[in-house]
Amino acid sequence: MYDAYEGDLDYLEGFKDDGDENVRLLEPLLAFRLSRAYRRSDVLRAHLRIESAGRPRSEQERLYAGYKAGKPGFNLAANPDRIIGRHGGTTFLGSWHMEQPDGYTYAVDLTHHWKLDWDDVHDLLRASGLHTTVPGEPWHHQSTTIRGALPGPFPDGTTTEDEMTPEMEERFDGLATWVFNGTTMILKRIEELSMQLEGTTPTEGDDE
Ligand SMILES: [Zn+2]
């Protein structure tokens, strides 16, 4: 937690896409880095919007129940009790978009409505420590994974970029993505198999 946290959340309210996105649960590092990225770029302020942020655990439970029951309008949703991974004393559950046991959500989905190029957007966001962590999902960003905080600036004024060359950072990101992707694939496969045993067939989905 840092002093300007609530103020940053208020600032981020101004970049919601439809207005129903919930930014109030964003974990402090993600809120800090996303606010910083917006403050430093008029391009992002003009065109980048928050399409999906966090949802309470109760909402994840509702989505998962609807998906399991095969109700119309419900897409693949993660089981709120599946374990994503552990870091330090924290166990991450369900989806990065779901409220975690510490009360925070750890991912944000962004949209530019085809007005920008993702490569350009990623350059701007990486400069503030926001990284894509799900291959094939250029909109999905996190500042923290099961490996801890990803490279970037911190509210106390320090930055891990100072200690890392771009080449090291590249390797770090590759490894983080690889580990995360591998874990996600295995979890999705297990989920698929359990669905098959229950006689339902899951559809392809994202990190939801
Ligand atoms: Zn996402």
Q: What is the pLDDT of residues 91-111, one digit of tens each?
A: 999 999 999 999 999 999 999
* Residue 95 CA, ligand 1 centroid: distance in Å: 9
Q: How many CB atoms lie within 10 A of CB 161?
A: 16
* Residue 138 CA, ligand 1 centroid: distance in Å: 9
For the residues 26-45, what does the mean pLDDT come to?
98
Q: How many CB atoms lie within 10 A of CB 106?
A: 27
* Residue 107 CA, ligand 1 centroid: distance in Å: 6
* Joined tokens for residue 127: 């400069």
Percent of the chain beyond pLDDT 90? 66
Answer yes or no: are the C-beta atoms of 132 and 107 closer than 8 Å. Answer: no
* Residue 148 CA, ligand 1 centroid: distance in Å: 18
Residue with the bigger pLDDT between 54 and 195: it is 54
| pTM assigned to the model | 0.77
Most confident of 100-109, 171-180, 187-196: 100-109
* Residue 165 CA, ligand 1 centroid: distance in Å: 28
What is the model's pLDDT at position 181?
61
* Residue 207 CA, ligand 1 centroid: distance in Å: 6
* Joined tokens for residue 204: 């392809």
Q: DSSP states of 100-168 as a string?
A: PTTS-B--EEEE-TTSS-HHHHHHHHHTTT-EE-STT-TTEEESEETTEEPSSB-TTS-BGGGG--HHH
For the residues 165-169, what does the mean pLDDT come to?
58
* Residue 162 CA, ligand 1 centroid: distance in Å: 28
What is the model's pLDDT at position 205?
44
pLDDT over threshold 50, residue 201: no
Mean pLDDT, the chain, rounded, equals 87
What is the model's pLDDT at position 106?
96
What is the model's pLDDT at position 25?
96
* Residue 91 CA, ligand 1 centroid: distance in Å: 19
What is the model's pLDDT at position 167?
57
What is the model's pLDDT at position 171?
58
pLDDT over threshold 70, residue 52: yes
CA distance 97 to 86: 16
pLDDT digits (tens, 9 = 90+) for 146-159: 888 999 999 999 99
* Residue 106 CA, ligand 1 centroid: distance in Å: 9
What is the model's pLDDT at position 172?
60
What is the model's pLDDT at position 202?
44
- Least Cα distance to 148 among 129, 135, 167 occurs for 129
Counting Cβ atoms within 10 Å, is residue 22 exposed (0-12), middle (13-18) or buried (19+)? Answer: middle
Place 190 in a pLDDT band, splitting at 50, 70 and 90: confident
- Least Cα distance to 18 among 139, 142, 109, 104 occurs for 109
